[in-house]
Structure formats: C-alpha cells, structure tokens
Chains A and B, each alone.
Chain A
Amino acid sequence: MSYLRNLGLAILALLLLTTAFAQNRVVIYSTIFAGYQDDLKAAFEAANPGVTVEIINPGGTEAMLARAVAERDNPRSDVIHSGGSTEYGYAVSQNLLRPYVNPDAGVPAFLDIGGQQLPLRDAEGHWHVFTVMFTGIMVNTDRLAALGLPRPTSYADLADPVYRGHIISPNPLRSSTAVSNVLAMYQIFGEDMWTMWDAIDANIDFYIDSTSNTYNLVARGEVPLALVVSRPVYELQAQGFPVEFIFPADGTQVADNSMGIVVGAPNPELAEKVIDFVLGHEMQALAARHGYTPIRAGVVPADSPISLETLAAEIQVLLLPDPELADAVREEMQAKFEAYLRQR
C-alpha cells in the first residue's frame, strides 16, 4: 500500500504548506478581474518583501458579502475589495467593516467630476472608493458600419427598432453591471423607463449570464452594441479592438469601486497597508492601465480618454449612485426582469 503512505505524506505536506507563513499573509476577497488581481498581488508583494497576498474571487459582490457575513465569527479575509459603494453601505449596516482613515494618504473625501461631488468614503472611513467607471453603451464601430446602422448617442436611441437583434445586455438578475444601467435609466426616466425598456427588450438579441463575455462578444464583432460599464471597453480599445464607449446623452451613472477592512481581520496592519497601497499612486496607475479612471489627479495625462478632464468634457449629464432608489426599486426590478427573461 505504498500509495496510501504517499497519500498520507502528500496530505501532511499540504497541511504544512497551508499553515506556514500564515503570519505574513493578507487575504483579500475581491470580485475584480484576474488581470487587476495579478497586478495588485505582484506590486504589493514587491513593495512589502516577505508578505504573501492571497486574492480570492467569491464570484460576485453579493456572494462576497454573503461569504463575509457567514464568516463573521471567524473572519478569513482581511480586506473586501471591489463592488459599488452602495453595496458597501449594506456591509456597514451588517457591521462587517472597520473604520480606517489615513490622514497622510492624500485622498480627498469627495471627487469633483464635472462639478458633481462623488463621496470617496463614508464619514468614518468604513469604505473607500478606489476607482470609478461609468454606465453606458459599448459599440463595435466596424460591425456597426458593416451593418449600416447609425451610432446611438443615448439610452433613448436604443429603443429605435432599427437596432432589433443588434444589442446584448448582461442579465440584470445576475449582473451588477446591468443593474447599474437600469438604475441610471430609472434615475433619468422614472417609472416611464419600463415603456422604454419594453422597446429596448424587443431589440435585445439575448441577455447573457456572463457579464465579462458581453464585452468579448462585442469586441469580436458578434454584435455591434451592448449595455455595459466603461472600464473593460477602454481596456479592449487599448488592446486594439475596434470598440468605443458612448456616454449616453440622457445621462451616465458613476459606478464606483470600493473596498474596506473586515472587522476582526486576522492581519489588521497588513489590511491597512493594502488600503493605502490601492489608493496610492503606483496601484492607481496600474488600475488606469486596465481602463479605470483613477481617483487621484496626475495619474494619467489630461488628454487620456479616461482622465477626469476628458470625462468632464464628454459627459453631458452625470448621475451619482442613489442607494435609496436602488433599495426602493429592487423588488420591482427583480419582478420585471424575471418576467422579461421568462417570456423569452
């Protein structure tokens, strides 16, 4: 039974591996994409020799918060990272987050975008916004031209029957990206948005359960248009795909990305270091390479498509996230989209 012995040895080795170095390990739960995770891990470990960063993606912001709630008596993560400030508001209400403010970080409490003030943290510093992106329309310009379609400029344009079968959207029952577009439209049109959505729904070829593949399909030219957020569009554009991001003229909503320190974090000092590091210049620049708009000035040149300066010029109507509205219409949205999806 030599394989039995080997098995025993292997399991023993495994146990030793997982328990060793636990002291110098910081665990981050993050729903951010793998490319950013790799950058954060590599950069933080380089800046803090001897420290191991473990990033785990629980598969969605709600799943991540649910996991953190479930682990409340025995927290396994130090930092939770990525997801809108609205959702972090919920985490605060669940006593999941520990306040932390570093006065030397050089990050203001509000970010000025074209005259609007976006809060970058709550009053106590439970959560911190580390980057922003925007809701709107992704277009594959080659495919749109090949189909001979006009370029849409607003959400309202998407209701035009010429776009029948030429729009895809992530599934709003699954995707926070899709929900932020729906909420933006709700802020603009109120209850009337449902009549508009009836027309948009008729144009939508299919709702896709994988948000990230929405971008893939448009980038490859499978469909010309999608309802998305800006960040991946800029990244694909920088890679050379014929795609552009359209800020809807009737309004674009800020989709902020937040993070916070977990109450009872196994490694609180490292957790604070992670917060400082993500807000710091180096990580902000790395985030900008992925298409995020940095919250610090001077990280990207003013003429970059993602700079605050460019955004201020391009965005006509800017909407800030509205947590109260989000809460109030949640059940209505769920019922509406269950109906839209189930009658397909």
Chain B
Amino acid sequence: MATATARAEGGSARARRPRFDPLKALYLVAAIYVVAFLVFPLAKVLFETAGLLFNAERPLPETLIPYMMRITWNSIRLALITTVVCVAIALPLAIAIAKLRPPFRTGWTVLLTLPFITPPFISSFAVIILFGRSGVLTQLMEMVGIPGFPIYGLNGLVLTQVLHLTPYALLLILAGLQTVPKHTEEAALSMGEGFFGTMRRIVVPYIYPHILAGAVLVFLSSIGDVGAPLLIGGNYRVLPVEIYSNFVSFLGDDRIPVIFSAWIILITAFMLFFVKRLLDKTEVKHKARTETFTYDVPWLRRAATVVLTLVTAFFMLPYVAIVISSLGTVWASKLLPNAFTLANYQRALGDTQPILNSMFLVAVITPLCLFLAVMLGHMLRAMPKLRWFDYFTLLPFVIPGVVIGVGIIRAYSGVTLFGVDFTASALVLVTAVSIRRLAQTMRVMTAGYARIDQSQEEASWSLGASNARTFTRVVLPQMRPVLFAGAVIAITKVITELGATLLVYPPGWRTMPVYIFFYVSEGQIARGSAMGVLLILLVGVGTAVANLISKSRRAAT
C-alpha cells in the first residue's frame, strides 16, 4: 500500500499511479482492437487509392472526377433535404409529446421509434407497395383524381428516408426537452409570454445543440444509406450505391470502389470535426436533467393529439404494408394480396439458421461492444491527452457499413487466427459488426461518464483506492443504467446490421437482415416480410422485457 499512502499524503493523485494498472492493460486491448479492425483497414484503402490515382500506366478516365463530384453533390443534397424535413417533423412532434401532455405519451414515442428496429431495405420496399406507380395509395389517389407522385428518384428517396430516419431526430430532441430548466419556462410565462412565444424564445434555443445533433445523425444516416437508393434511386445516383455495386460489377472499373471508398472516408472524416463538437456540446447539457415543465392548454392538447394521430398513422403505413404483405400470397397492381395465408410465417420460422445466427451475433457482439465502449470511454476520461482517439471511435458512425466491410476484407483476406481462416469464419462477421456498431454504444457510454463527477474518483484515490478499485467500486456501479441503455442500443443496432454483413458474411452465417435482403430482392417479398415482422417482434419484445427488468430493478433499489 506504499503508493496508496503516498497518494493519500498529498500532491497530485493523478501523477502517482501504481506501476501496473490493470485498467491500462484493458485500455490497450480495446485500443488495439479499434486500430486493428478500423484504423488499419481504412488506412489501407486510403493508401491503395493514392497508388491508383498516381499510376501513370493506367490513367483514370477523364470523366471520373466530375462524375464523382456530381454524385457527391447528389448524396449531400439528398441528405440535406431529408435532414430539414425530418427536423421539421420531429421538432413539433417532440414538443407536443413532451410539453402538451397528450394522452398515451409513451405510446406515441414507442410507435414513432419503431423504425429503429426495422430491418433496412424492407421499409424501402414498403414504400413501393404504397406509393409506387402501381402502389396501393397511388391507386386510391388516382381513383379520386389526384395524380400519383413520382417516387423513382429524389422524391422517393426523401420520402423513404424521412419515414425511416425521423425517429433519430425525435429521440434526441425529446432528450433535449428533458434538460430545459423548469424555472426558465415559468419565468417566461410569468412575464406574459404565451406557449408559442416560450417555445420559440426559450425552449427551442435552449435545446439547439440537441436539434443539431439530431440533424447530424439524420444527415449521416442518409448519406450512408444503400438500401433505398438501390431500390428506388432511379436515375438519381449516390455515393454508397456506386461503391456497393462496383463490388459486384460486371464491366465496372475495379478501381472505382476503392477510390470512392477513400473519397467517402475523407469527406466523413472532415465532417467528424463538426459532429464531434456538437456531440460534446450536448453531453454537457445532459448533466442537468430536470423535471419537464408541461402546459395545460386544452385546445392545444386536442390539436396536438390530432396531429400526433395523423403523423403516427402515416409513419405506421409501411409497417401495415409489411404485415399485410407477410400474410399474403401474390400482391401486384391490386389493393390487397390475391389471397391470405400463414405459409410465409411457417417458412420463415422453418428457416431457423438465420434466426439463430442473428441471436448468436447479438449474444457475442453486445458484450464485446460494451467492453470496448466502457474501456475506451474510461480511457478518454482518465487520459485527456488521448482525446483524439475519440475521432476513431466515431468514424463508424459516418462511414457506410459497406466501406467498413470492404476495408476489413481487403486487410485480412487470407490471414489465419488461432488456426482459423479469419475471413472464412464467423470472426470476420463479429469484428465487422462490432466495429460498425461501436460508435453508437460508445456515445451512450461517454454520455454516461460525463454525468459522473470527477471529484468522486479523486475522493476515492485520496482514500487510497487504486485506479482499478476506483473504477469497479465507484464508477462502474453508477454506470449500471447506462450499461443497460448501451446494451439495448447495441442489440437493436447489431440485429439490424446489413451493410457490413452483406460484404463479409462467411459460409453458414446468413443473418436475418441478409435473409430478408435476398428474399425481398428475389421477388419473394411475402417471405422476406414475414421474417421482417419476426425480427421486429423479436427486438421489440426483447427491449420491452429488458425495460421492464430495469424498471423493476430501479424500483427495488
């Protein structure tokens, strides 16, 4: 206990740590993992690109760079429009839910966040079923004389992404509304401001960072989306599709995916500086979580309820379409499928392998992501000099899964690990998906750490506890609810992962989203829909049960 005594006697506790700190060893393990499976593969892609660009023997086609700039602008324009629309919808909805006390408050939030657990791709197909040229709603609209809405191109992409991404903005804005100090609103009211004035002058400016953070999340998800543009992009071409489809190309230039991947890495790395600042800002505000001030204005509450009902109904349409499709036989050019059947569910349930694979991945990757996020989050907190490392952990947020998959395959093809061929075993899937989903888990952890006052650790050290002991006895117990939230995020994000999985999944490791992707794209939409409904149920029930457990635990303590 010599070191502990020395520490207790004074001087800077931080400066005198014991020689071997098990925590540091764990930091190192986590950091090596990130460097090996994220930084190195991406750096390799960038490096290879430099070689391709300056190869005099094989000059690039002259049209390539202008074309790349055009589709880059397409990607950015789509993301900007989607973001503006999502925020414009999410902000009033969040205010209505949080401030006006409408009936079924939790109900609205749960329904509106359903897209979080929806497998990607299938919701894009739902848009075709509903709004396509032979879509159900298009037919209904044409019956009353309203012309259809052209979905193949920018319009359809915005529609699909808004239906899918609004929850990101909604949840962040809702979280922001919980941080607005009650007294500021009371003061505004007492000075004669009305509801709208208070919202505009006090509340919205206060949650500005949350709104921006939500907008950034929507923007990045939109820019990385492959599923919707692949299906309904029409002639509107965007970067991720260009990368994905050049991998499976026939006549394509083999250099294009590498060059475009590198380009997207550069753009997103640049955007990260901006994103990181915003995220840091919101974390500080999270500290002050107060009771939410609500307003009792009956006519506004009624109006809010009507708007919530209509908007929620609109957002539920794709799910209604998926459920109907999963219960039907052939569904083409008609308002309903030709006949109804349970056969799709029998087949989907009969295909146990993808279900078991997905469950297995969740069971392995969730603890892995939590371990990495807990260690790296703590490392960033304890060693401010290493803050720059946070940029790496944020990278998967902004880089499309396809690019992560490509990087790992290119870097580790042919490598054997413990006698197992890395890219031919489930290891490649575990690493790719864990890296892809680390960013989301990491956000939850850093937000959690930010809420713990540093002085608690200092007190623990001054009482003679080691770093490791302080971590396990003081910090970790307070992180329990955060660990839980991180686990829920990790589970939902791991089970719906498609982009990286599609590129790396080894023999026998088809997951539920891959199954859905293949069957839907092969025309067996009903069968894919049935698996999609099973996936939504599985995650929905899982998170609901988890929520109940955490609530009863919280009640018990």
Contacts and interface: CB of A to CB of B under 8 A. Distances in A.
Given A14-B364, A232-B523, A220 B235 contact: no
B507 interface: yes
Interface string A124-164: 00000000000000001011001000000000000000000
A60 B249 contact: yes
Nearest to B230: A210
Listed from nearest, the 4 A-B pairs whose CB atoms lie closest are: A54-B507, A60-B248, A221-B134, A221-B333
A172 B245 CA distance: 11
Given A174-B246, A222-B132, A210 B521 contact: yes
A330 B152 CA distance: 30
Interface string B351-367: 10000000000011001
Interface string A11-48: 10011011100000001000001110010000000000
Contacts of B233: 206, 209
Given A76-B421, A242-B333, A334 B134 contact: no
Contacts of B133: 221-223
A213 interface: yes
Interface string B492-508: 00000000001101111
Given A56-B507, A63-B248, A342 B67 contact: yes
B489 interface: no
A220 B522 contact: no
Contacts of A223: 133
A213 B364 contact: no
27 contacts: A3-B367, A7-B371, A14-B427, A18-B426, A52-B508, A54-B508, A60-B248, A62-B249, A74-B414, A142-B333, A143-B134, A171-B245, A172-B250, A174-B249, A174-B250, A178-B250, A179-B250, A210-B230, A213-B231, A213-B521, A217-B128, A220-B134, A222-B132, A235-B523, A241-B523, A242-B333, A342-B63
A34 B506 CA distance: 15
A34 B522 contact: yes
Given A59-B502, A220-B134, A222-B128, 19 more contacts: A3-B367, A7-B364, A14-B425, A14-B426, A18-B425, A35-B524, A57-B518, A143-B333, A172-B250, A173-B252, A174-B246, A174-B252, A206-B235, A212-B521, A215-B523, A220-B129, A240-B338, A241-B330, A338-B63
A54 B283 CA distance: 47
A110 B311 CA distance: 62
A143 B522 CA distance: 20
Given A7-B364, A14-B426, A179 B251 contact: yes
Interface string B291-333: 0000000000000000000000000000000000000011111
B252 A206 contact: no
Contacts of A15: 418-420, 425
A207 B166 CA distance: 29
Interface string A213-228: 1011101111100000
B470 to A, nearest CB: 15
Given A59-B247, A63-B248, A34 B519 contact: yes
Contact of B250 (A60, A207, A232, A339): A60
Interface in B48-78: 61, 63, 67
Interface in A190-211: 205-207, 209-210
A52 to B, nearest CB: 8
Given A3-B371, A14-B427, A239-B330, A212 B523 contact: yes
B251 A330 contact: yes
A216 B134 contact: no
A144 B524 CA distance: 23
Contacts, number: 174
A236 interface: yes
A143 B134 CA distance: 9
Contacts of A341: 237
Contacts of B63: 338-339, 342
B96 interface: no
A34 B354 CA distance: 12
Interface string A233-277: 001100111100000000000000000000000000000000000
Given A56-B506, A62-B249, A213-B231, A10 B134 contact: no
Contact of A216 (B368, B507, B525): B525
B523 A10 contact: no
A71 interface: yes
Contacts of B212: none
Interface string B508-527: 10000001001111111100
B420 A239 contact: no
A39 B519 CA distance: 14
B424 interface: yes
A10 B364 contact: yes
Contacts of A174: 245-246, 248-252
B433 interface: no
A34 B518 contact: yes
Nearest to B153: A206
A337 interface: yes
Contacts of A123: none
B413 interface: yes
Contacts of A236: 523
Given A3-B371, A205-B234, A70 B413 contact: yes
A339 B330 CA distance: 38
B269 to A, nearest CB: 26
B61 A338 contact: yes
A328 interface: no
B136 to A, nearest CB: 11
B370 interface: yes
B241 interface: yes
A6 interface: yes
A212 to B, nearest CB: 4
B207 interface: no
A338 B332 CA distance: 33
B177 interface: no
A221 B330 CA distance: 12
Contacts of A55: 507
Given A55-B507, A171-B245, A176 B364 contact: no
Contacts of B507: 27, 54-56
A313 interface: no
Contacts of B505: 56
Nearest to B427: A14
Contact of B235 (A210, A239, A344): A344
B234 A206 contact: yes
A213 B518 CA distance: 10
Contacts of B482: none
A221 B239 CA distance: 28
A97 to B, nearest CB: 20
Contacts of B247: 59-60, 63
A299 interface: no
B430 interface: yes
A71 B331 CA distance: 43
A193 to B, nearest CB: 16
Contact of B231 (A60, A207, A210, A334): A210
Contact of B241 (A54, A172, A209, A221): A209
Interface string B108-130: 00000000000000000100110
A173 B128 contact: no
Contacts of A140: 332-333
Contacts of A188: none
Contact of A241 (B332, B370, B414): B332
Contacts of B419: 15, 19
Given A74-B414, A206-B152, A222-B132, A173 B251 contact: yes
A333 interface: yes
Contacts of A242: 332-333
B413 A205 contact: no
Nearest to A18: B425
Nearest to B132: A222
A205 B152 contact: yes
A138 to B, nearest CB: 12
